[in-house]
């Protein structure tokens, strides 16, 4: 395990759920982060799905020091470089590539590659990354698929995302190889748009009480 993967494991272990956030307006970033932290979830993934994402992450880093901000949907080495310059704590991908693994291994930013297959997991482990994102978790075969992968890769731990919500998060967290789960149910787009910070805080609080194995 390389230094990047070791730090990623430490960060993801802080809370059972990592809110996966898509932000359309930078102005929403700070109040959203504060609501999540009040609810007990400090580790936040801001996805690179909008033009506002990097600026939103930078705003949280600057104004909400208790937040542990990660950049998600990292697809290229350039994305990884931009994330590092933003000052975030980690980066995470839905998949991976040789280019990304090399860039992450050469850099200092904690990185979590995304995997779905044994081949992708082999590439990640070979590059020194043994904390991975299993995505899309439910469509890719769910807990049965993750358990099957765990057999030949006993040293790997997972942060599954995709199809995990309030109804099934506890079931996933009961798996001994799962360090945390990612999910968008904590802060849905409509609540962010409407500034429903109390509702987001309440969901975060419920999620923070989920038990890990």
**Does the pLDDT value for residue 168 go beyond 90?**
yes
Query: Residue 114: which pLDDT band, with cuts at 50, 70 and 90?
Result: very high
pLDDT in tens, 61-81: 999 999 999 999 999 999 999
Res 1: pLDDT? 61
- Give the per-residue pLDDT at 2: 74
User: What is the reported pLDDT for 213?
Assistant: 54
Confidence tier at 211 by pLDDT (50, 70, 90): confident
Instruction: Describe the crossing of helices 98-106 and 77-86 by its angle, rounded to 10 degrees.
Output: 30
pLDDT band at 111 (very low <50, low <70, confident <90, very high): very high
- 62 Cβ contact partners less than 8 Å away, ≥ 6 residues apart: 87
Q: Which two tokens stand for residue 184?
A: 């968008």
Cα(69)–Cα(164) distance, integer angstroms: 20
Q: What pTM value is reported for the model?
A: 0.95
Domains located in the chain, CATH noted: 3-208 (3.20.20.70)
Q: What is the mean pLDDT of residues 30-46?
A: 98
3-state secondary structure 174-201: CCCCECCEEECCCCCHHHHHHCCHHHHH
pLDDT exceeds 70 at position 212: no
Q: Among 74, 79, 80, which residue's Cα sits nearest to residue 96?
A: 74
Mean pLDDT for 17-44 is 98
How confident is the prediction for the chain on average, in pLDDT? 96
Mind telling me the catalytic residues? 45, 133
User: According to the model, what pLDDT value does residue 21 have?
Assistant: 98
- For residue 3, what pLDDT is reported? 72
């Amino acid at each position: 395990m390389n230094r990047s993967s070791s730090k990623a494991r430490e960060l993801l272990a802080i809370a059972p759920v990592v809110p996966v956030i898509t932000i359309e307006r930078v102005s929403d970033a700070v109040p959203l982060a504060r609501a999540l932290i009040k609810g007990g979830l400090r580790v936040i993934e801001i996805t690179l799905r909008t033009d506002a994402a990097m600026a939103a992450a930078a705003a949280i880093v600057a104004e909400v020091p208790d937040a542990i901000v990660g950049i998600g949907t990292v697809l290229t080495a350039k994305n990884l470089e931009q994330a590092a310059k933003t000052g975030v704590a980690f980066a995470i991908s839905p998949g991976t590539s040789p280019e990304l693994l090399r860039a992450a291994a050469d850099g200092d930013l904690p990185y979590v590659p995304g995997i779905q297959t044994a081949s992708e997991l082999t590439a990640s482990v070979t590059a020194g990354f043994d904390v991975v994102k299993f995505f899309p978790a439910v469509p890719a075969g769910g807990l049965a698929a993750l358990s099957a992968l765990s057999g030949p890769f006993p040293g790997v731990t997972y942060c599954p995302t995709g199809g995990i919500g309030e109804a099934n998060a506890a079931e996933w967290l009961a798996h001994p190889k799962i360090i945390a789960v990612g999910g968008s149910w904590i802060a849905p787009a409509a609540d962010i748009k409407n500034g429903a910070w109390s509702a987001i805080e309440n969901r975060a609080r419920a999620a923070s009480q989920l038990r890990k194995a």
